[in-house]
Structure 1
């Protein structure tokens, strides 16, 4: 009897092996398995989904003439069972170049498809990062083709979006805002603290995001999502990557390592990147005004001006950086998930290169002007709950504490005293966010947020001769506080399959208090407080005219509340001008309108086009001021004109952003981006002047070739000219940054670069990438930048996965 049973079991096992068949679905270019691919047939009516290995059982599909194979981000295939059989039960899906079904997180903090969002969104995924090989996160943003990046030094990058920058655009890391109470109106370089090698995905909202994100999100929101710990689906596992990269223009040496360890309930991610950059070499062909003919060298406390043997080398631009990331995740059951994350970034001292170019009486002004280490630490706890109830379907809690430390040090040529300012900002934030799907048509997302920033600031002078320190005025009032409490609600109504309506509002209460030290400066006030509230809202819709055409319209308001930098800073803004505190400030308020279209033509052409118009009232701008009744004061031993931040302007910004993507063949793709922005700002006399952060016309065009092992990208990046008459008044004051036209006036020449990048996957473990940037060795300086861009730059990198 047992022999018969054993024989029967063997026969059934043989029959199952013979008559059941698994199909494997792979990415046509990477060759990697694709999870969550749906395969369904109407005759017979059956469906299945691939597992983590890209496999699905086709036993019940044997008589199917049409099997529909679908996956987000990939082109749909329709194929018969017999054709799959002829392909040895292996299928390859081609990634979509532009998909209306792309999943976006940024606009509501929850996953949504692109076709339901009435906003312009730019995404940049890990595969794009690996191909482009950016040195920093600022360079990553620059590669999107829709964000303009200004640099004051090599260790920097200040994004400009739709005519706004600095404290009018918002930086987020894993949903936590980096903007703090001393983010200034001048160019901000904090984005480089985010490690480009640990970013999993980047999403940029072009336009206001205040309803969800609060103050500062007037021009746009940049969301960086770093590595997430991955749990084991079956057995415990580990995986990781190691990267080594070298670049010739600044002799970059970067080493990166990341490791993921996962079990069914615990997961860990560790990431570390170390980079060292030497002095940057500019190109040979361009304005001579950008070269570095001389520099200051200090030997035994004696300053000497040295002739630069190679004026194309930007002496004193090099620096080094370390980035660390650790995440620990715990999933006790299917409803709860806990993640703790630790981020740390630090740099060496690095020079404020644009200040080292400044001259007085045709002689270099500064012997020293450098930042101390720029340190950023973040502790972040995220708790997610996904068991639906009558109040929410999903909920998440975020709490974080960040510590920012930065310092500024400068000394005039031949001076024996060095001026230093050191700032520390402790930033606590907490968010509760919820989403509730009322039915198939109605959905709500809502939440509350609290933020508290405390600013500590000190100033001192150090004698080079005796090393003795003496206190001087701090940059900010020490012990200042900035707080925000807000609630928001966003409503979505899917009226039908084609029309989706979305609206929302946010109520924000802001408090600020600062006490001024009159030991060094006779301030006309002892203390200032702000207690104000702002109400913002948005209204938009998307219309799916066809499955290949999406139209959207969005209108909304945004605001930026004065921070400690606006209200309490004392510093030299431009040569001969010093900014002093102003206790009488209100928030600035913006009104935005935009309309856009996403259009697919057949399967090979995709177009996106957006027009926008933004009005800012009570804009916070730097203008002439009186201090204790005087229009000039003595600052650091010099008589300077007095200025202050004031609600003194109205600004208008409008423009067009366009993108075109053409699939020339299954392996050859061409895409281009173009951005035109016009900005105007009201002056004290009622006249209008160009807006400082409205970038020139810029864009890129790329031809990409993708095969199973190779990805190649040939690109042209271009910027238009800005005539002297079209420069903002504050930029004209910085003549030392610009080329001079035939009339001896500062202007921005047009420029372009030709670039070639390539990525070769040897196998599933090893890949090699490299390229040549600025092939024609152009000498150019992006608008408002203090450092000239890299000349011809050879990049080589090797990555191994395990």
Structure 2
């Protein structure tokens, strides 16, 4: 596997004149770190989690050793988060080399797990599900509203997670855990600690500042944090593939001059004009632990942003010229309030956790065609109440985890036009019906049995969930909705069954099968959406779709040879039944309609496909000497679906082969790392013709393969002060990640100064 990864990198990285200099620079940095550290004992911090004794929370909702869990789970530690030093949480997931991330604009990141994206991947934050009634099937940016600088850890569960988490967890679950206050271990003593940093990135002139402080007594504790980031327009790379010398260049843009929308030449076409934005995040936690048996946690999180330009749409062309004068998301607001009670019990159950949560989310979209004075304004407000009650029972070699999950979603959608000169407003079709509710109630049980020889562990579980959806249309005069009131009450059943076999201490096999389901939400059933300017497709509502279902078997192996080698691999297949895909659709017996004065082909979400996905993931870690580490990963996913007429079509959201390779040296005061990120080709024939693959933002042949070479280092200036520096995309490669309408950063310098007390 290691040889395959090296060959793959060599083939795709296309050596340039930079390589020799970079190799020398990398060697000098690594050698300098080794020499400097000879006076002190090196500290080895392995990549990710290397021990099967590592404790998981995602896979069972209560702490459980990784060795006992059938499904593949990766842990992203706080040390990794600090070291990779990314600008947002989406970039953090991508930095693992095991999660694919799509971007439509700089203020966006949409994780893809095993060929599933957006509403088919469940995001969980401090035990509270983030997916709500309007999570869409295309690409989402909600993950960036999580402040990665306050994360204690991230757990990525691959494959269906519906048994524990219900609807939406088809591809997997990404669970984020934020930091807790630190309590004092001595009565009468208060512990105060904190962290802060400032960071600058040259590619987008990023300026970020963060500070957090924790205050704790023996029973009470509090932690507070604030992060502010300012991102300017991003500069793409200037090293273009020979066949595509103009790919992604931003040659012109629209600017309003003397009351006229004018097409203006971009003086530097590597600058992605109108991609900058600002974001700020605030977190506060209060912890009360009266004794070792109980704890109470109050959690408050606020995230907000400036307007976020939808960069890909600002490139859209109609009749040979740029179409839009404006296209941006309004401030993305996410407010979370939760209370969690943890207790150890003396009755039948041993542990109890209750979490009550409330979320208030606002999203908005604003667009205006060039030379049209009327700006379209669409605003969505989502309020979500959640109640989770989870119990754990241990008896003998058995563990039982059971609980209930109640979700209450209220969605209000409004829309209007605004004349930018006169301020006059007018009617406009809403993205969703004006009033919507989307509620669910689920009950689950997850069981583990550890056989007497400690070599076998059985995992099994089941969940039943009911969903109630109600949408009411108040004004249908400007919409294409074939209903005034829509109700659905689907019931989803899911389960899992698997075995772990550990014949010897450092060898582990796992085999299992899990099912998943996703109930159609407000976005699936009722949305009106202009899918593509280039192909002139309009997505219209379809009230007749049913829940999606998956069955996914998985095989895995974990090998550890002493302290110097670890190898992990998994292979899976997913049967995707009643898959909701966008396909041709008729409205009033017609397969096209006029919308905003333009004729469009109509599409709608439909359960008209049977799909199959398969793939594998492999990772190898080598530790040739103390302090050194070579880590490499590779991921491959394939997927197609069959239409009712028997034709086979590529499934959307399927990334090309991708991965990451790094060489790192760490000591007590110095560390250095050279790493590469790489993606294979996504040929145009493998794009979904009607989905969300965004062929219009690729080349005529598809999305070219790419690789970047990068280097970073950290120096401990003092016990409480450290300096981080990185040079990313050293060859200044111009590239886009598959399905993205936004080019990645070119060569960039990142400098951070961190302090703690």
* Fold shared per TM-score above 0.5: yes
8 Å CA contact retained: 1:122, 1:144: no
Distance (whole Å) between structure 2 residues aligned to residue 724 and residue 534 of structure 1: 36
Query: For 2:142, which of 190, 200, 205 is the aligned residue?
Result: 190
What pairs up with 1:511-660 in 2 under 5 angstroms? 511-516=468-473, 517-521=475-479, 523-575=481-533, 576-660=536-620
Residue equivalent to 1:341: 299
Q: Secondary structure at the match of 1:446?
A: strand
| 1:204-228 C-alpha deviation (Å, 9 max, x unpaired) | 0011111001000000100111111
User: Are 2:355 and 1:398 aligned?
Assistant: yes
Residue equivalent to 1:711: 671
What pairs up with 1:776-795 in 2 under 5 angstroms? 776-795=731-750
Residue equivalent to 1:59: none
Residue equivalent to 1:311: 269
Once the two structures are TM-superposed, the CA of residue 740 in structure 1 deviates from its matched residue by: 2.5
Q: Secondary structure at the match of 1:739?
A: coil
8 Å CA contact retained: 1:303, 1:414: yes
8 Å CA contact retained: 2:653, 2:693: no
What pairs up with 1:375-394 in 2 under 5 angstroms? 375-390=333-348, 392-394=349-351
Q: Secondary structure at the match of 1:154?
A: coil
Q: Secondary structure at the match of 1:465?
A: coil
Distance (whole Å) between structure 1 residues aligned to residue 644 and residue 235 of structure 2: 42
What pairs up with 1:386-535 in 2 under 5 angstroms? 386-390=344-348, 392-439=349-396, 441-496=397-452, 497-516=454-473, 517-521=475-479, 523-535=481-493
Distance (whole Å) between structure 1 residues aligned to residue 150 and residue 257 of structure 2: 41
What pairs up with 1:144-163 in 2 under 5 angstroms? 144-163=96-115
**Structure 2 spans left out of the alignment, 5+ residues:** 1-39
8 Å CA contact retained: 2:684, 2:695: no
Distance (whole Å) between structure 1 residues aligned to residue 326 and residue 41 of structure 2: 62
8 Å CA contact retained: 2:296, 2:342: yes
Query: For 1:751, which of 695, 706, 716 is the aligned residue?
Result: 706
Query: For 1:248, which of 187, 198, 202 is the aligned residue?
Result: 202
Once the two structures are TM-superposed, the CA of residue 762 in structure 1 deviates from its matched residue by: 2.4
Q: TM (normalized to structure 1)?
A: 0.87
| 1:154-173 C-alpha deviation (Å, 9 max, x unpaired) | 00000011000011001111
Once the two structures are TM-superposed, the CA of residue 735 in structure 1 deviates from its matched residue by: 4.3
Once the two structures are TM-superposed, the CA of residue 94 in structure 1 deviates from its matched residue by: 5.1
Once the two structures are TM-superposed, the CA of residue 389 in structure 1 deviates from its matched residue by: 2.0
User: Are 2:625 and 1:665 aligned?
Assistant: yes
Once the two structures are TM-superposed, the CA of residue 471 in structure 1 deviates from its matched residue by: 2.1
Once the two structures are TM-superposed, the CA of residue 732 in structure 1 deviates from its matched residue by: 9.2
8 Å CA contact retained: 1:205, 1:222: yes
Residue equivalent to 2:8: none
Distance (whole Å) between structure 2 residues aligned to residue 543 and residue 619 of structure 1: 33
User: Are 2:232 and 1:278 aligned?
Assistant: yes
Q: Secondary structure at the match of 2:718?
A: coil
Distance (whole Å) between structure 1 residues aligned to residue 561 and residue 526 of structure 2: 54
Residue equivalent to 1:16: none
Once the two structures are TM-superposed, the CA of residue 602 in structure 1 deviates from its matched residue by: 3.1
Distance (whole Å) between structure 2 residues aligned to residue 474 and residue 120 of structure 1: 41
What pairs up with 1:100-115 in 2 under 5 angstroms? 100-115=52-67
8 Å CA contact retained: 1:608, 1:658: yes
Once the two structures are TM-superposed, the CA of residue 501 in structure 1 deviates from its matched residue by: 0.5
Once the two structures are TM-superposed, the CA of residue 522 in structure 1 deviates from its matched residue by: 6.0
Q: Secondary structure at the match of 1:313?
A: coil
Once the two structures are TM-superposed, the CA of residue 704 in structure 1 deviates from its matched residue by: 0.8
Residue equivalent to 2:31: none
Distance (whole Å) between structure 2 residues aligned to residue 481 and residue 272 of structure 1: 33
Residue equivalent to 1:702: 662
Once the two structures are TM-superposed, the CA of residue 361 in structure 1 deviates from its matched residue by: 2.0
What pairs up with 1:68-107 in 2 under 5 angstroms? 95=45, 98-107=50-59
Distance (whole Å) between structure 1 residues aligned to residue 532 and residue 301 of structure 2: 34
Corresponding pairs, count: 706
Change (3 A) 1:156 1:608: same
| 1:407-463 C-alpha deviation (Å, 9 max, x unpaired) | 101111111111110000001111000111012x11100000100111000010011
8 Å CA contact retained: 1:301, 1:464: no
Q: Secondary structure at the match of 2:524?
A: helix
Residue equivalent to 1:370: 328
| 1:609-668 C-alpha deviation (Å, 9 max, x unpaired) | 100000111111111111222222221221211211111111111001000000010111
| 1:674-703 C-alpha deviation (Å, 9 max, x unpaired) | 001101122343211111111100001010
Change (3 A) 1:650 1:491: same
What pairs up with 1:229-244 in 2 under 5 angstroms? 229-234=181-186, 235-244=189-198
Distance (whole Å) between structure 2 residues aligned to residue 388 and residue 595 of structure 1: 38
8 Å CA contact retained: 2:308, 2:330: yes
Residue equivalent to 1:39: none
8 Å CA contact retained: 2:495, 2:514: yes
| 1:461-512 C-alpha deviation (Å, 9 max, x unpaired) | 0112211111211110111000110000011100131111010000001110
Change (3 A) 1:684 1:304: farther
| 1:547-567 C-alpha deviation (Å, 9 max, x unpaired) | 110111110110000000011
Query: For 2:79, which of 121, 124, 127 is the aligned residue?
Result: 127
Query: For 1:292, which of 223, 239, 250 is the aligned residue?
Result: 250
What pairs up with 1:193-212 in 2 under 5 angstroms? 193-212=145-164
User: Are 2:302 and 1:302 aligned?
Assistant: no
Once the two structures are TM-superposed, the CA of residue 250 in structure 1 deviates from its matched residue by: 0.1
Distance (whole Å) between structure 1 residues aligned to residue 337 and residue 669 of structure 2: 39
Change (3 A) 1:91 1:492: farther
Residue equivalent to 2:312: 354
8 Å CA contact retained: 1:409, 1:419: yes
Distance (whole Å) between structure 1 residues aligned to residue 431 and residue 328 of structure 2: 15
User: Are 2:682 and 1:726 aligned?
Assistant: no
Once the two structures are TM-superposed, the CA of residue 519 in structure 1 deviates from its matched residue by: 3.0
Change (3 A) 1:557 1:732: closer
8 Å CA contact retained: 1:555, 1:594: yes
Q: Secondary structure at the match of 2:624?
A: strand
Change (3 A) 1:91 1:673: closer
Residue equivalent to 1:53: none
Distance (whole Å) between structure 2 residues aligned to residue 749 and residue 729 of structure 1: 18
Q: What is the RMSD of the two structures over their aligned residues, measured on CA atoms? A: 1.4
Once the two structures are TM-superposed, the CA of residue 324 in structure 1 deviates from its matched residue by: 0.3
Once the two structures are TM-superposed, the CA of residue 739 in structure 1 deviates from its matched residue by: 1.6
Once the two structures are TM-superposed, the CA of residue 731 in structure 1 deviates from its matched residue by: 6.1
Once the two structures are TM-superposed, the CA of residue 672 in structure 1 deviates from its matched residue by: 0.2
Bigger CA radius of gyration? 1
Q: TM (normalized to structure 2)?
A: 0.92
Change (3 A) 1:257 1:310: same
